[in-house]
Chains A and B, each alone.
Chain A
Amino acid sequence: MNFNYGDSKLDFVKHRKKFFIFSGLLVIIGAILLSTVGLNLGIDFESGTKVELLSNESLTAERVYEEFAKIGLTPDNVLLAGDRSEMAYATFIDGEGVLSQAEILQVQRHFNASFGVEPNISTVTPTIGRELARNAFYSVIFAAIGIVIYVTIRFELLYGVAAIVALLHDAFFIITIFSITQMEVNLPFIAAVLTIVGYSINDTIVTFDRIRENLSYEKKVRGFEDLARVVNKSLIQTLARSINTVLTVVFAAAALLIFGGEAIRTFAFALLVGLVAGTYSSLFIAAQLWLVWKSKSLQKRRFKTAENEA
């Protein structure tokens, strides 16, 4: 694999409209899905109780319902997990909802006795659920603002705005995928989205850094053609790095997804989706957007100087 500029026939810039249309469509589909199907919010952001059970033997949903019935509880939902379905997740949303301390102790004692393993139990009241969701939303917004400010100081505003568009694109992409798959959105999911925010920005910055450097070598940038050449050259030069980096992080995320167990699965899946989206958006969205905006601002400036001279 070598991407030496000169013998490379790759042209990223030529197909930019296709990428814009593709991503635009994705965003529209995502918006429709979110407003209709929505997300499968875990109890972290709603309210209720989640009980995670581990047993030495294979479990069935009926068995779990029976065990809960013995202590007078009816879970709203039971999900089995693990290679031999030795794990089960029971959730209480309506009905009993947030289990009281006494009920939690009862569940712990009961399953400790019947399964021999103490279950995990988490409860969230509506107030806390709302607070967590609000905090998660704020953290993405504040992270984005901080990044725009930093990039504007180090580069210029246009780079910053293009980077943020790419970043929001990635975050939205993950959310859309979670809306399609209806996987549970929990707190680690937010951590994954923010990691992708960081990664996506990281990836975009490396590309922009090279564009800025190559631009400084150009004697005169006349307009779109010159800019397009610089952008294409920079993308090809950083392509090996982009692919190698995303591959190594994908190795880590995929290993977590496949071998890491239930507790970390949502997190790893969100990461994996985000990594792919992040690399795509750095190459095909962020740099191209910057190219379009920059050439427009160059044109405006040329008109102004032309008017002044006339």
Chain B
Amino acid sequence: MVKKGRIVAFFLIVALLAGLVVSTVMDVAKEIKLGLDLQGGFEVLYEVHPAHEGDVIDDDVLKSTVTALNQRINVIGVSEPNVSIEGDSRIRVQLAGVEDQQTARELLSTEAQLSFRDVNDNLMLDGADLRQGGASVTFSEANQPWVGVTLNSASQFAEVTRQVLNSQLVIWMDYEEGDSFMEERLKPESEQKFISAPSVDQVLNTTNVVIRGTFTLEEAQFLADVLNAGSLPVKLEEVYSNSVGAALGEKAMEMTIYAGFIGVALIFLYMLIYYRFMGIIAVITLSFYIYLVLVIFNWMNAVLTLPGIAALILGVGMAVDANIITYERIKDELRTGKTTMSAFKAGSRRSLSTILDANITTILAAAVLFYFGTMAVQGFAVMLIVSILTSFITAVYGSRLLLGLWVNSRILNKKPRMFGVKESEINEL
């Protein structure tokens, strides 16, 4: 007797899943965070060097550098920056989706050490004497952009101007040991390393100082932004960098997704032809599997990279394997002359330990990849692990549930052809 209820249940479950996938898949896809190789952006690994001789690079220095970098990134306005300390003396910055990579990169690595010196290069005031957030762009009467800064103490500036009275106060950005005003002033204006060197003819008792350089509006804005973000306590040297143009990233993503669709379509087709009825179940669970992987990936807040997409496609192959192991086992059991129901039961049970062993070894390899890999490879490893765990749920339990509804409805009894087994292959007992 055929139990129609179970077949109805099967179609209900499939309809429910299909409804869920269709109604939410676009939102899920939109929310996925793309790595910089897919949407453009850059990644830089900085080696941190002391800004002054004798400074020590320790944990506190690294942390405050990270804070300063984050403040600068706020200026750029990237939504999800990633700044992390690596090892004893390295900082990795990943900025995906930056529109103006050039400015962002410059902004990140300038030390932004503003200093006021006399003509003999003796330090009078430095960044520590500036009020935080007190820099802004101002304009001269001739509409020349200047940069206004605010000092902490008016009396201090009065003291400084008294000392350099009737001489010049030289304003430097990122002054390096060995730089000399006497040498620089002989060069043409565009090559001079200092920003400006105003003459001082009276004592100024004020906190507001205007730097009158020959800036373009962008340069003035950049200087003000950098000063507001605060100076870096260290020198940064780029030891590794990777920047991806937005158009190239998008092209890579489109091509990989296109390739993925073709690959997955081929897999589905093969499963349908070879496994017949069980192939339909496989296609249903595999489709849901892809959806589920994306959902879990979103939950984890993981970043999808190009190798990550490859891992997803590969994961489909691995998920197929779990299906294939189970189906082959069921076919084996059918061939030994078991009834459909007992072949299904024995096949599901016996294939489980095989699938488990096979998947755990792959997860081991992926975990090692994650530990040693750089961002792109880590993206691959995370995706592979998520894929394997998800495939375990869908390919083992999902398949079993859906196929079980049909088998237990008894409609498939004595129909081994539906499983791709010929009657002639069955051993009569």
- Residues of A at the B interface (CB closer than 8 Å) are 2, 4, 6, 52, 54, 101, 104-105, 108-109, 112, 117-125, 127-128, 132, 135-136, 138-139, 142-143, 146-147, 150-151, 154, 187-188, 190-191, 194-195, 197-199, 201-203, 205-206, 209-210, 213, 237-238, 240-241, 244-245, 247-249, 251-256, 258-264, 267-268, 271
Contact of B259 among A108, A210, A256 (CB under 8 A): A256
Residues in A neighbouring B369, C-beta threshold 8 A: 139, 143, 191, 194
16 contacts between A and B (CB under 8 A): A54-B248, A104-B105, A122-B240, A139-B368, A146-B365, A147-B361, A190-B377, A191-B369, A198-B366, A202-B359, A205-B358, A241-B321, A241-B328, A251-B270, A256-B256, A260-B259
Contact B101 A205 (CB under 8 A): no
Q: A108-B101, A261-B256, A268-B310 are in contact. Are A202 and B372 (CB under 8 A)?
A: no
- Docked pose: A258 CA to B256 CA in angstroms: 10
Q: Which residues of A contact B248 (CB under 8 A)?
A: 52, 54, 117-120
Q: Which residues of A contact B106 (CB under 8 A)?
A: 101, 105
Q: With A54-B247, A206-B358 known to touch, is A252 a contact of B264 (CB < 8 Å)?
A: yes
What are the residues of chain B within 8 A of A118 when measuring CB–CB? Answer: 40, 101, 245-248
Assess the B310–A256 pair: CB atoms within 8 A: yes
B364 near A146 with CB under 8 A, answer yes
B260 at interface, CB cutoff 8 A: yes
Are B368 and A255 neighbours in the complex by a CB distance under 8 Å?
no
Decide: A209 near B353, CB < 8 A? Known: A124-B240, A194-B368, A267-B307.
Answer: yes
Whether A259 lies near B239 (C-beta < 8 A) is no
Partner of B306, one of A213, A244, A264: A264
Closest Cβ of chain A to B243, distance in Å, is 5
Q: Which residues of B contact A108 (CB under 8 A)?
A: 101-102, 243, 245
Residues of B within 8 A of A124 (CB): 240
Question: Contact at A143–B365, with CB atoms within 8 Å?
Answer: yes
Q: Answer whether residue B13 sits at the interface, using C-beta atoms and an 8 A cutoff.
A: no
A261 near B252 with CB under 8 A, answer yes
Other-chain contact of A249, B40, B256, B314 (Cβ < 8 Å)? B314
Across-interface contacts of B362 in A (CB, < 8 A): 198-199, 201-202
Q: Are B45 and A244 in contact (CB under 8 A)?
A: no
B residues less than 8 Å from A255 (CB atoms): 259-260, 262-263, 266, 313
Closest CB in chain B relative to A184 CB, distance in Å:
15
Nearest-neighbour CB distance to chain A for B367, whole angstroms, equals 8
Answer yes or no: B123 CB below 8 A from chain A CBs: no
User: Which residues of A have CB within 8 Å of B372?
Assistant: 135-136, 138-139, 142
Residues from chain B with Cβ under 8 Å of A127 in the complex: 239
Determine if A104 and B243 form an interchain contact, defined as CB atoms under 8 angstroms apart: yes
Verify A4–B425 contact, CB threshold 8 A. yes
User: B365-398, CB under 8 A of A: which get 1 and which 0?
Assistant: 1101101111011001100100000000000000
Given A118-B248, A146-B364, A150-B364, are A209 and B259 also a contact pair (CB < 8 Å)? no
B126 is an interface residue with CB less than 8 A from chain A: no
- Rounded to whole Å, the gap between the CB of A305 and the closest CB of chain B is 32
The 8 A CB mask of B235-259 against A (1 = contact, 0 = none) is 0001111111111110110011011
Are the CB atoms of A205 and B361 closer together than 8 Å? yes
Q: Mark B301-323, 1 if CB is under 8 A from A, else 0.
A: 00000110011011011101100
B338 at the interface (CB under 8 A from A): no
B118 at interface, CB cutoff 8 A: no
- Interface check B332, CB cutoff 8 A: yes
Q: Which residues of A contact B310 (CB under 8 A)?
A: 256, 260, 264, 267-268
Q: How far is the CB of B355 from chain A (nearest CB, A)?
A: 9
Q: Knowing A105-B102, A150-B364 are in contact, say whether A244-B324 is a contact too (CB < 8 A).
A: yes
| Among candidates B247, B317, B353, B357, residue contacting A245 with C-beta atoms closer than 8 Å | B317
> Closest 3 CB pairs between A and B?
A118-B245, A255-B263, A261-B255
Q: Is B212 an interface residue when CB atoms closer than 8 A count as contact? A: no
A138 to B373, CA, bound (A): 11
Q: Are A202 and B317 in contact, CB atoms less than 8 angstroms apart? A: no
- Shortest distance in angstroms between A105's beta carbon and chain B's nearest beta carbon? 5
B267 within 8 A of A: yes
Cβ contact within 8 Å between B267 and A252: yes
Q: Which residues of A contact B12 (CB under 8 A)?
A: none
Q: Which of B14-48 contact A (CB under 8 A)?
A: 37, 40, 45
Extra A-B contacts (16), CB below 8 Å, given A146-B368, A244-B328, A258-B259:
A4-B335, A101-B238, A122-B242, A125-B240, A135-B373, A138-B372, A142-B368, A151-B361, A191-B369, A191-B376, A194-B366, A198-B366, A202-B358, A247-B270, A248-B270, A248-B317
Shortest Cβ distance from residue B363 to the other chain A in the assembled complex, whole angstroms: 8
The listed residue (B317, B376, B377) touching A252 by CB distance below 8 A is B317
Contact A256 B260 (CB under 8 A): yes
Is A121 within 8 A of B241, CB to CB? yes
A120 with B267, Cβ < 8 A, contacts A147-B364, A241-B324 known = no
- Complex Cα spacing A4 to B317, Å: 25
Q: Is B360's beta carbon under 8 Å from chain A?
A: yes
A199 — which chain B residues lie within 8 A by C-beta? 362
Distance between Cα atoms of A249 and B425 in the complex (Å): 28
Shortest Cβ distance from B427 into A: residue: A6
Q: Which residue of A lies closest to B108 (CB)?
A: A101
Q: Is B412 an interface residue (CB 8 A)?
A: no
**Measured between alpha carbons, how far is A198 from B328 in the docked complex, in Å?**
22
B98 to chain A, nearest CB (A): 11
Q: How far is the CB of B47 from chain A (nearest CB, A)?
A: 8
Chain A residues near B318: list those with CB within 8 A: 202, 249
- Which residues on the A side are within 8 Å of B381 (C-beta)? 191
Check if B354 sits within 8 Å of A209, measured CB to CB. yes
